[in-house]
Structure 1
Amino acid sequence: MLDRTDTKFSHVKPGDTDYVSGGLRDFFLYRDLGVAEATNGKVIAHLVKANMAPEAGTGWHRHEAEFQIVIMVNGWARFMYEDQVTLVQAGDVVHQRPGIRHYLFDYSPDMEYLEIVSPADFKSIDVEPVCEVPPPTPWA
């Protein structure tokens, strides 16, 4: 029999939650999808979208997380994963292995991605730069 004591059913429709500031990055807006509450903090799922043009980006960091994927829904973003420039475009899926050092440094004005991370209260830890980062593309 399926154990339902640790999680509950959740169904969030587009109008149920708004995009809000106050998330991990002030230049993004975040829309909670109810998964953290439904899983008692085991997993978080949120939509993240551009709110301001890229200036300094996220800086070099890593996450203390067991699992993390990014699914690009709209637009594009350029990341440094270790010393590799990676263009992530709408439709792409990225699995970020635990502890990978990365830097989101550029994105389009219409960038929006779904991020799923476990645990929900994962930490972002600043790290020493891995390499030089290209400049962002100015928004028109």
Structure 2
Amino acid sequence: MPTPQQHFVVSHLKEADFKSGGLRDYSAYRDLGAAAATNGLAQVHVIRMIAPFRSELSVRHHHDVQFQMVYCLKGWFETEFEGVGRHRLVEGSSWVQPPGIRHTVVGWSDDCELLEILMPPEHETVNDA
């Protein structure tokens, strides 16, 4: 399969680039332009938690992706993974989630910011509850 045509992109921090009201009402996303630059091969965004964690957000789910990596830029973020257990990201730590792994978010700090890399950019999130 041929590799999609790719081009250079740069993204500088602008607070106005954080968009809420999308996928999750408790977070804002800053698209770093990777989907457009890679012609749909990958997505990279910064996720900023904009609301406190609530227990009703703990829903077991999985993502229909080929690759997913999360890096903690600020604060902390905790998830329980099926077959792996509970893990907490803190500033400077990361995890790679195998495709389809079932997991449940169990908490985050008020100042939490994450960098997430996904392949492909368009994918389904499936609730397993």
User: In the aligned structure 2, how far is the partner of 1:63 from the partner of 1:125?
Assistant: 6
Q: From the two aligned structures, give the one with the greater helix fraction.
A: 2
User: In the aligned structure 2, how far is the partner of 1:58 from the partner of 1:10?
Assistant: 35
Give the structure 1 partner of residue 35 of structure 2: 36
Q: Does 1:66 align with 2:66?
A: yes
Q: How many residues align?
A: 126
Give the structure-1-normalised TM-score: 0.83
Greater gyration radius: 1
Give 4+ residue runs of structure 1 displaced > 4 Å after superposition. none
| Structure 1 range deviating more: 30-39 or 80-89 | 80-89
- Code of the residue aligned with 1:119 in structure 2: it is P
Give the structure-2-normalised TM-score: 0.90
Kindly indicate whether the alpha-carbon contact (under 8 Å) linking 2:4 and 2:39 is maintained by their aligned counterparts in 1.
no
1:57 is displaced (CA, Å) by 2.1
Give the structure 2 partner of residue 131 of structure 1: none
- Closer, same or farther: CA 95–4 of 1 in aligned 2, 3 Å: closer
Equivalent position SS for 2:7: coil
User: How much identity, in percent, do the aligned residues show?
Assistant: 33
Give the structure 2 partner of residue 103 of structure 1: 104
Alignment gaps of 5+ in structure 2: none
1:105 is displaced (CA, Å) by 2.0
Alignment gaps of 5+ in structure 1: 129-140
1:59 is displaced (CA, Å) by 1.3
Kindly indicate whether the alpha-carbon contact (under 8 Å) linking 2:27 and 2:47 is maintained by their aligned counterparts in 1.
yes
1:95 is displaced (CA, Å) by 0.1
Give the structure 2 partner of residue 14 of structure 1: 13
